[in-house]
């Protein structure tokens, strides 16, 4: 599968904000996005006036990078969001937010979404008691997500790094058992991504 293999911090600098792609490093003074506010590359310091299309494209790219999904996956989520009742943009963010890898990240069992994907792929996560190793699996309301090897030293080390992270209110997480229940689906105000989702809708609606 095609994956971005260059420096992750370049992506944050390209969007002009932290997307928390490097785990705990993003919360320290070593964060490249905080130290170097200009865009990446030779001409990164030059400000360019974006067209309407360019602004819409940047919002889409920001959401893709934040959740770590490919273009084909993102388009599929948009089509799913369009077919649901409610605002398409909010439906899209809700689908991305309820991906299993994102749930694992929100639970504090991984320092980044990339690490959460690895944990899921290696079969360490169960949903409603059954092993699920697909990071893109969409979790539903009342589902239970649990870490199989809750006592592992690696997870203990990770949770020490993520101790200050607040678990969203729509996830009922027990830190002792490493088990969470999805008490409700996230609303727009529960999602901390600074993106104008209506611009993404406009982009795909052309």
Q: How far apart are CA 152 and CA 159, in angstroms?
A: 11
- For the ranges 15-29, 77-91, 98-112, 173-187, the lowest mean pLDDT is seen at 15-29
- Sketch out the chain's domains with CATH numbers: 1-49 (1.10.1050.10), 51-94+193-206 (1.10.1050.10), 99-185 (3.10.290.10)
Q: What burial class does residue 145 get, using C-beta atoms within 10 Å of its C-beta: 0-12 exposed, 13-18 middle, 19+ buried?
A: buried
Question: In the prediction, which pLDDT does 169 show?
Answer: 95
Mean local confidence (pLDDT), 8-25: 58
Does 206 have pLDDT greater than 60?
yes
Per-residue pLDDT of 133-143, as tens digits, reads 999 999 999 99
Do 145 and 126 touch, CB atoms closer than 8 A? yes
Question: In the prediction, which pLDDT does 1 show?
Answer: 40
Distances 60 to 57, 97, 102, 103, 125 between C-alpha atoms, Å: 5, 15, 18, 21, 29
Assigned token pair, 86: 């409610």
Question: In the prediction, which pLDDT does 49 show?
Answer: 82
Taking the whole predicted model, whether its pTM rises above 0.75 is answered as yes
- For the ranges 53-62, 123-132, 156-165, the lowest mean pLDDT is seen at 156-165
CA dihedral (107, 98, 90, 141) positive or negative: negative
Do 60 and 77 touch, CB atoms closer than 8 A? no
């Amino acid at each position: 599968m095609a994956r971005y293999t260059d420096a992750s911090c370049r992506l944050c600098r390209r969007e002009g904000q932290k997307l928390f792609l490097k785990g705990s490093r993003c919360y320290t003074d070593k964060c490249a996005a905080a130290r170097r506010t200009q865009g990446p590359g030779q001409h990164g310091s030059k400000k360019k006036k974006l067209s309407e299309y360019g602004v819409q494209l940047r919002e889409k790219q920001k959401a893709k990078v934040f959740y770590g999904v490919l273009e084909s996956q993102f388009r599929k989520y948009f089509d799913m969001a369009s077919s649901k009742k409610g605002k398409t943009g909010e439906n899209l963010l809700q689908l991305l937010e309820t991906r299993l890898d994102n749930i694992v990240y929100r639970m504090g069992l991984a320092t980044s979404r990339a690490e959460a994907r690895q944990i899921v792929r290696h079969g360490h996560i169960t949903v409603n008691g059954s092993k699920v190793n697909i990071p893109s699996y969409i979790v539903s309301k009342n589902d239970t997500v649990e870490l199989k090897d809750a006592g592992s030293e690696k997870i203990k080390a990770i949770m020490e790094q993520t101790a200050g992270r607040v678990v969203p209110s729509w996830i009922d997480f027990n830190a002792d058992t490493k088990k969470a229940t999805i008490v409700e689906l996230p609303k727009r105000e529960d999602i901390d991504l600074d993106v104008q989702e209506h611009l993404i809708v406009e982009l795909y609606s052309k």
